[in-house]
Structure 1
């Protein structure tokens, strides 16, 4: 898959709140993530760890709304804007982030989030 086709599939899955499927279908086994709200310093490495952390988030969050922009592409990279409103541990919250992905050999190998 190309970065363009991966971005289109990712956007569809995220808009449908199929977050785990996005990881399972589109990410490399050795993918890494840089997330400023991760409690552990440094990148998160490995698909299994990314899925585990996503499951933990989904277990405690109730998503009320999600908006995903169309992608902007530059060769092996693409970015999207994600805005999500959710309840977590009974409290309303939201996140507004720029997500940057790198694709290699038909899979996402890295993601980095910039949060405002």
Structure 2
């Protein structure tokens, strides 16, 4: 798959809430996941390699009590990179109800996502 096909498939799976399937299907084993600087102690941080990224995803989903809404934009593709705007309104075990919006940026190499980075307010 090329970058546009991968981006479209990621958006499709995320809109269906199939994050684990997206990781399994679309990510390279050497992928990295980068969060914003300045996160509070105990927050999910950066992860390197698919085992660590899967664990990060598992911890995030286990913390969700209820999802009230959300959205995933169409992707914007440029070469080996693409970005997607995502939003979620959810109640978390450790934070209560918290709506969040972010820009997610991805890099594709050899037909797999190898880099994801998230941009959102930390205050």
Give TM-score scaled by structure 2 length. 0.87
For these two proteins, the number of residue pairs brought into alignment is: 115
Q: How does 1:1-116 map to 2 (within 5 A)?
A: 1-36=1-36, 37=39, 39=43, 43-61=46-64, 62-89=66-93, 91-116=96-121
SS of the residue aligned with 1:17? Answer: coil
Unaligned 5+ runs, structure 1: none
The ranges of structure 1 where at least 4 consecutive aligned residues each deviate by more than 3 angstroms after the TM superposition are 37-41
RMSD: 1.6
What secondary structure sits across from 1:12 in the alignment?
A: helix
- Structure 2 gap segments, 5+ residues each: none
Please report the TM-score for the alignment, with normalisation by the length of structure 1: 0.92
